[in-house]
Structure 1
Amino acid sequence: MPLSANARIKWLVAGILFAAFWASAATATKIGLAFAQPLVIAEMRFGLAALIMLIIAHLIKGHRLPVGKEWKQIAIYGLLNITIYLGCYVIAMQTVTAGIGSLAIATNPVFISFFSVFFLRKRLTWPIIAALIVCTAGVLTAAWPLFAGAEITTGGLLLLLFSMLCYSLGAIYFSSLKWNDLSLFTINGWQTFLGGLFLLPVTIFYYEGSSNLFNSTFWWSVAWLAIPVSIIAVQLWLWLLQTNAVRAGLWLFLCPLFGYVFAAWWMKDAISTYTVIGVILVIAGLLLSKLKTG
């Protein structure tokens, strides 16, 4: 049937674009870091993404503004998901390679499943425990040879993993709340705006004019992080989840592969045996997290 064929094509294109855009965040961040301080990149990204999403939500689509306790919910979500998660992530990327950054991002679903046991009263299963161990081992394996060449620091890797934990907590917090009829564009736009606002005092305090060169490459990095990553990838992911939540998770397996392709292409990151083993372990961990137990 033509409709079925079109639906399959739409699903395939959306999944591939999501995985590619989502995985490109680490490389785009590393490119921007060559010209600006990490928090400056973050603030510009948040500001641009929030402006576009809020214009779409309120001026184009005419969605309502948050009211009452919804502002508090959005503020807390923005604090976890933007201020802490992405603030720590962009700082960590100063001393972590683009490949490792994208590999760590791919482990988020496993951390979310693990923390949901404590915050959403989900049942802790052996596949989740095994997946957490295997994914962590994968990231450490891929990172191991990079310590010797100072391409990765222990502090940077720990901060990166901490940022993944904060993202997972933010996702659990978001899913535990009732948002009534508030649109996703409204929630995403305002949480991005407020998260960036909370981070602004820290950015101003550490700002050094001589460390920032606002050239075309810097703005390309910011624009890519704001539009394809923060807006398009997130909207594609939400569409995939709404269409088929079980199958949507399978697209996450492509993220480490895309991430290392971009890192090797743009940043000339080396792909070693450790890299291959690390990626395989992370993908295996993601697969384990999908197993059902009786």
Structure 2
Amino acid sequence: MTTRSPSNAATAQAGRLLATALAPAVWGTTYVVTTELLPAGHPLFAALLRALPAGLLGIALTRALPRGVWRARVAVLGVLNIGLFFPLLFVAAERLPGGVAATLAATQPVVVVGLAVLLLRERPSAWRCTWAIAGVLGVALVVLRPASVAFDLVGVLAALGSAVSMAFGVILTKRWGRPDGVGPTAFASWLLTSGGLFLLPLTLLVEGTPPTVDGPAVLGYLWLGLIGGLLAYVLWFRGLATLPVTSVALLSPLSPTVAALLGVLVLGQTLGPVQLAGFALSLVAVTAGQWTPRPRAVPSRNPKERIDS
């Protein structure tokens, strides 16, 4: 039997971490794609097309369906990670300024750290807790503007609810894992389909008739479904299966950070000194949160012990 050297293991983990980081980075493109390509006023329809077709496509490709207890687990995980998360996020975006909604949603890593202690019995890490809070502060500095600060109870509860829903989804996904022999593509497809089926009646009830879809909208829906949906969630759930859950959660600030960067590059928005400082803090928090400092060796106070050792 061959064993990996520590350097090879570290390189493999770094590769898995970078691949997982692509998921929140891709999710950061959702805002610009939605505003520039999709018909306005139909966020739930966009969420539905992001989830259900991609999930059904993945099931068709993998030819695998959940069995036994996993039928109920997939239903729960699909609702928490997708079906409930999306509507709450859209409600927050409609009732709150974008900066406020993004900042509240960015509290998800803090919630994940707390839930990991309660449900996964992980030892709390002051280092990662600190950087989780720093990530929220960085996002706030990037996206908040003085004129955008507003309070709407329903919007605030929806934003916090989206963070809690996704956090519970992340924790339960880590706790339950995947069935033996089921890969990340099949697993992501199950959850996207479950979340999409939850969204289907909700979308018809709230938004009614689907909008007219033109060429740019087709491209937008394809991007959200195939890249922002199936591919991103495959990478996300594979990372959850192989990396520490708090490490994965601390990648979440990449999403609003990428959204802000695309606002500058695509929409012609500007970032002042405060926003640039927040941008840098977010990246530092994401990076530093992946590193676990080694405990300092405590020197012996007995000279004889030091000589004998």
Q: How does 1:145-294 map to 2 (within 5 A)?
A: 145=145, 148=147, 156=155, 159-181=158-180, 182-209=182-209, 212-237=211-236, 257-292=257-292, 294=295
Q: Answer yes or no: is 1:21 the counterpart of 2:26.
A: yes
Q: How many residues align?
A: 279
Per-residue deviation, 1:267: 3.4
Unaligned 5+ runs, structure 2: 1-7, 296-309
TM-score (norm 1): 0.76
Which residue does 1:119 correspond to in 2?
Answer: 119
Tell me the distance in 2 between the aligned counterparts of 1:56 and 1:66. Answer: 15
Q: Deviations over 1:76-121 (max 9, x none)?
A: 0011011111222234344677788778777655543332112111
Per-residue deviation, 1:57: 1.1
Tell me the distance in 2 between the aligned counterparts of 1:97 and 1:266. Answer: 20
Judge conservation of contact 1:26–1:99 (CA < 8 Å) in 2.
Answer: no
Q: Secondary structure of 1:206's match?
A: helix
Per-residue deviation, 1:135: 2.0
The verdict on how the C-alpha distance between 1:15 and 1:292 changes in structure 2, with shifts beyond 3 A counting, is closer
Letter in 2 for 1:123: R
Which residue does 1:54 correspond to in 2?
Answer: 59
Which residue does 2:84 correspond to in 1?
Answer: 84
Q: Deviations over 1:168-227 (max 9, x none)?
A: 210110111153323322222122112121222221221244x83322232222211111
Judge conservation of contact 2:103–2:136 (CA < 8 Å) in 1.
Answer: no
Tell me the distance in 2 between the aligned counterparts of 1:168 and 1:276. Answer: 28
Higher RCO (CA-CA < 8 Å; seq separation 6+): 1
Q: Secondary structure of 1:40's match?
A: helix
The structure with more helix, counted as a fraction of residues: 1
Unaligned 5+ runs, structure 1: 59-63
Per-residue deviation, 1:156: 4.8
Judge conservation of contact 2:106–2:252 (CA < 8 Å) in 1.
Answer: yes
Of 26, 32, 40, 1:35 maps to 40
Report which of the two structures shows the higher radius of gyration computed on alpha carbons: 2
The share of aligned pairs that are identical, in percent, is 23
Q: Aligned-residue CA RMSD in angstroms?
A: 3.8
Letter in 2 for 1:52: L
TM-score (norm 2): 0.72
